Amino acid sequence: MKIAYQNVIWWFFFAVYNYMSLAQDEPLNVDVVGFFDEKNGLSEIAFQTAISNLNTMKDEIRFNPMSFVVNTTDSFENSKSLCDIVETSNVGGVFCPTSAKIAPIVESVGDNLNIPAIQVGWRPSATYTDILVNVYPVPTLLFQGLRAIVRNLQWRSIVVFYETAENLIRLQDILKTQDYNSGNKYNSLMLKELGPGPDYRSALKQIQNKSEYRIILDCKTENIVPILRQAKELKLLEPHFSYFLTSLDAHTVDLKVLNSSVNVTTVRIFEPESDNFKTAISNWNNYMKKMNIPGVGLDPYSVKTETALMHDSVHMFLKCITDLHATGKSVEPTKLSCENVDDKWVPGFDIASFMKAYTHETEGLYSITTPMKFDHLGRRTNFSIFVVEGNRDDVVAKWNPSDPDVLQFFKSEEDRNKELERKWSEGIVTVASILGPPYLMKKKPKSETDLLEGNNRYEGFSMDLIALLAKDLNIKFKFEVLESGQRGAYDKATKSWNGLVREILDRRAELAICDLTITPERREVVDFSTPFMRLGISILYKKAEAKEANMYAFLDPFSVKLWLYSATLYLGITVVLFFISRISPQDWENPHPCEQEPEELENIWDMKNCLWLTLGSIMNQGCDILPKGLAPRMAASMWWFFSIIVTNSYMANLAAFLTNERSQASINSAEDLAKQTKIKYGTLEGGSTQNFFRDSNYSLYQRMWTSMEQSKPSVFEKSNDDGVARVQNTKNRLYAFLMESSTLEYQIMTKCDLKQVGNWLDSKGYGIAMPLDYPHRSRINEALLRMQEKGEINRLKDKWWKEKRSEPPCPKEAEDQDANKLALQNVGGVFIVLGVGLALAYIVGILEFLWNVRSVSVDEHISYMQALKVELMFALDVRKTKKRAKPAVSESSSSSRSPSMARSFLQSAGSFLRLDKINQLETPGSSRHTSRPLE
């Protein structure tokens, strides 16, 4: 009996012990409520799977998932559903819906009851409370990340398409990076609202003619493909366009359906190829299979950001409650009532605070959106943004808030450049140009059967330069010639560009080359390479027409009549002076001053001396004898006065006539052009030279522009060739053409009637045009610099400016300092007059010498030949400076010969002609008979 009692007592204690043990090991039940937009959606599956997996590993707490589909049209019903749940269940946390209309109601109920609320979506006007935690990246940091990505894309000009004004909040940091001024002609930022849809064409059409190819699209994920389809219809999805999609779910869109090679950049905050994500996908597939939910075999790229955040947030919440419970803190939920304002769950605040302070490391088993950290408001401050280009699996970079200004690339810069080079070399680069020597010309076939195709149709400096670049860069190219011949100017009427710039803007060409000047206006819409040629604006003018040289130009200062009048007056004055001197008593002088009372007086003013006096006066040389009488002096003075006037007038006019070419209308600088109105001047219409004068603030160039603009007919030409032809054909050199020095230099090398006037008016360069943000610009610049260092560009210029010219080059002219000097042909007549005069003097001298020989032969009674021999021998002996009064002849010679009949005849003739007056024989007792007026 005793043993039976003992067994009963033992079994009693054993039962009590087992009961107590079982009661102590019973798990804590925590209900977790989740609100979702659809039944059995992927977010709900992630929610259910996470709780189910954790329940299999933890025994101390059992989490009960409670899923509800929100009613997007009745917020009161959603709040009533949550209140019914908390009154009948032990709710430990609520996962709020993503709807911006419904979420505030759920959050408000949780805040009133102190039940932790977890958000997984972004709402711009969210109000953070003590129990609210948001696992979605904090907007300010997320927007900084988007800005860093756009900045790294180096898009200087952006078009932003957005659906609603709410989207602008998400884009505010991007908008701040771009300059915008409503008063500017060009802006780097354009904002376009897409509207409610589904037809977005009206908004997209606004950029068709704007030459904008960098587009940011901020819209709902489900609208991305419809919008891009309509953009493709408007040809806004060509390969040269680039799109940046701000949606974090853009990876779920298969852009291959667009069948376009457009450049697309997307972002996401998780990596579908990570191990944790693959594990999560596997768990979701298993759960769906277990629950017979259709959709087994999920595509990793179909998972939205909301689902990934739901997965991580559920794991974080459950782990926080488990860890907090392990510390001894009470996390046991209770039933609550929404009607009782004082009814609150006390552990709710501790759980929310523990979540905000908790860090879920990347090593964790379940994290697929990188580590989670929160600030004191419960906003997530740690996440990563993955940048994807092209294919959804081509991740190129990552951004992290810890280093907001840096984008971490997964490939080195060298690898990225190699990839760009590879893609570039695989295609064909289209190069636009215009015809114009020496830059590009049509090649002449060698024979009639020679068929020229492709690039072989053209030749010139531009072709050779691009060929050298292509060889250096290992690319292929093709030339497309623009028939309009326009380089590129902005038309204010149509608000668009023309010419080569238009070709670049419309992406019909990747590069454009010719004598295309780099200007600030063009650089606003296209990029340029480093200049391959330096130049400036200069003046093309026609040379003065060379007149036929006149050797007798020294006669031009006086007319023929004046020369005849002067010669007649010279002879007349001589005769007048001769007679005045003969009647003037003062000019009759004593021939022998030692005789006090001479029998005869002498007058030296014969016709020969009078001619010498008047000639010396007019030649400004004077005379060694001068008149003494009052009347002759008055006549000579009046002749001297006349001579001064005539001689000085002649010298002044002679200088003007001999330098007649220099005195023609001419210009030497831009200042000379601006100061006069006779010579017209113009530029190429629509070119950079015209823009230079139009936009210049320098007063001189403003005056020149006003003059050009007001000239009638127009002084602007359609092409440089037309301007050159106008300079050549305008009469009297009354037109000058302002053009770029490189082309001007080419023209004057063979057009010898043209010249360059003055120095450059500015300094600029020719460059290769390309689209804005062209990825290969740096490589082109490097290749050009290498070519310049090797002298290849200079060799090309010599080739096409000199060697390849079919026209003969102009002969080299004299130096500038010799250009204004008189040449021999200008004064050659003076030399002729001098030569003729000297020849006449020499002939007269010979005649005088022969006549003197005759006199000697007569006086000395010798033969003419003997006298000639004696006089000639003396004249040729230059050492003798003294001459005997009578020639030395032998007596035998003089006596052996008697005067001949010829001599007698000459003596008779001389006596008849009174030649004895010229050489009068001195005989004793002879008297000098000089005419004298009768007293």
Distance, in Å, from the CA atom of 329 to the CA atom of 538, rounded to the nearest integer, reads 89
pLDDT for residue 549 = 61
pLDDT for residue 432 = 95
Distance, in Å, from the CA atom of 400 to the CA atom of 411, rounded to the nearest integer, reads 17
Tell me the mean pLDDT in the region 289-307.
83
pLDDT for residue 861 = 82
- The winner for highest mean pLDDT among 451-465, 545-559, 880-894 is 451-465
Judged by average pLDDT, the poorest of 114-118, 790-794, 813-817 is: 813-817
The backbone torsions φ and ψ at residue 640, rounded to the nearest 5 degrees and listed phi first, read -65, -45
Which residues pair with residue 476 across a beta bridge? 428
Q: Within 10 A of 879 (CB to CB), how many other CB atoms are there? A: 4
> Which of the four pLDDT bands, split at 50, 70 and 90, describes residue 330?
confident
Q: What are the structure tokens assigned to 931, written together?
A: 């005419």
Tens digits of residue pLDDT in 372-387: 888 888 888 889 999 9
Residue 592 CB burial class (10 angstroms; 0-12, 13-18, ≥19): exposed
pLDDT for residue 217 = 92
| Four-point Cα dihedral 885, 890, 891, 897, nearest 10 | -100
Tell me the mean pLDDT in the region 578-598.
78
> Which of the four pLDDT bands, split at 50, 70 and 90, describes residue 889?
low
Distance, in Å, from the CA atom of 666 to the CA atom of 660, rounded to the nearest integer, reads 12
Rounded percentage of the chain residues whose pLDDT exceeds 70: 84
Q: Which amino acid is at 645?
A: I
Tell me the mean pLDDT in the region 543-570.
76
Asked whether residue 552 carries a pLDDT value surpassing 90, the answer given is no
Tens digits of residue pLDDT in 88-128: 888 889 998 887 777 888 888 888 888 999 998 887 666 77
Q: How much is the pTM?
A: 0.65
Q: What are the structure tokens assigned to 743, written together?
A: 């082309």
CB 771 within 8 A of CB 512: no
Which residues, other chains included, contact 447 with Cβ-Cβ below 8 Å and sequence gap of 6+? none
Tens digits of residue pLDDT in 21-58: 444 457 788 899 998 888 888 888 999 998 888 888 76
Asked whether residue 934 carries a pLDDT value surpassing 50, the answer given is no
pLDDT for residue 359 = 67
Asked whether residue 449 carries a pLDDT value surpassing 90, the answer given is no
Tell me the mean pLDDT in the region 494-514.
89
Distance, in Å, from the CA atom of 921 to the CA atom of 923, rounded to the nearest integer, reads 6
Tens digits of residue pLDDT in 708-722: 999 988 999 988 889
Asked whether residue 743 carries a pLDDT value surpassing 50, the answer given is yes
pLDDT for residue 786 = 93
Tell me the mean pLDDT in the region 848-857.
83
> Which of the four pLDDT bands, split at 50, 70 and 90, describes residue 781?
very high
SS3 262: coil
> Which of the four pLDDT bands, split at 50, 70 and 90, describes residue 632?
confident
**Residue whose pair of structure tokens reads 């010279």 in the numeric block:** 570
> Which of the four pLDDT bands, split at 50, 70 and 90, describes residue 171?
confident
702: left (phi over 0), alpha (psi -120 to 50) or beta: alpha
Tell me the mean pLDDT in the region 922-931.
40
Q: In CATH, which superfamily holds the domain spanning 413-536+779-793?
A: Periplasmic binding protein-like II (3.40.190.10)
Asked whether residue 544 carries a pLDDT value surpassing 60, the answer given is yes
Distance, in Å, from the CA atom of 30 to the CA atom of 640, rounded to the nearest integer, reads 140
Q: Which amino acid is at 129?
A: T
> Which of the four pLDDT bands, split at 50, 70 and 90, describes residue 897?
very low
Tell me the mean pLDDT in the region 812-838.
60
Asked whether residue 614 carries a pLDDT value surpassing 70, the answer given is yes
> Which of the four pLDDT bands, split at 50, 70 and 90, describes residue 188?
confident
> Which of the four pLDDT bands, split at 50, 70 and 90, describes residue 869?
confident
Topology of domain 27-136+288-362, CATH: Rossmann fold (3.40.50)
DSSP label of 799:
I
- pLDDT: which is higher, 360 or 748: 748
DSSP label of 410:
S
Tell me the mean pLDDT in the region 426-438.
91
Asked whether residue 929 carries a pLDDT value surpassing 50, the answer given is no
Tens digits of residue pLDDT in 203-246: 898 887 777 888 999 999 999 999 999 999 988 888 888 899 99
Tens digits of residue pLDDT in 656-671: 776 655 545 568 888 8
Rounded percentage of the chain residues whose pLDDT exceeds 90: 18
Angle formed by the axes of helices 42-57 and 275-290, nearest 10°: 90
CB 462 within 8 A of CB 533: no
DSSP track, 437-504: TTTBEEPPPSSTT----GGGGEESHHHHHHHHHHHHHT-EEEEEE-TT-----EETTTTEE-HHHHHH
CATH of 553-592+599-658, one of 1.10.760.10, 2.20.25.160, 1.10.287.70, 2.60.40.420: 1.10.287.70
Distance, in Å, from the CA atom of 303 to the CA atom of 369, rounded to the nearest integer, reads 12
Arithmetic mean of pLDDT over the chain: 80
pLDDT for residue 399 = 92
pLDDT for residue 14 = 46
List the domain boundaries for the chain.
27-136+288-362, 413-536+779-793, 553-592+599-658, 839-917
The backbone torsions φ and ψ at residue 324, rounded to the nearest 5 degrees and listed phi first, read -70, -40
pLDDT for residue 898 = 42
> Which of the four pLDDT bands, split at 50, 70 and 90, describes residue 295?
low
Tell me the mean pLDDT in the region 779-804.
91
Distance, in Å, from the CA atom of 340 to the CA atom of 356, rounded to the nearest integer, reads 28
Asked whether residue 302 carries a pLDDT value surpassing 90, the answer given is no
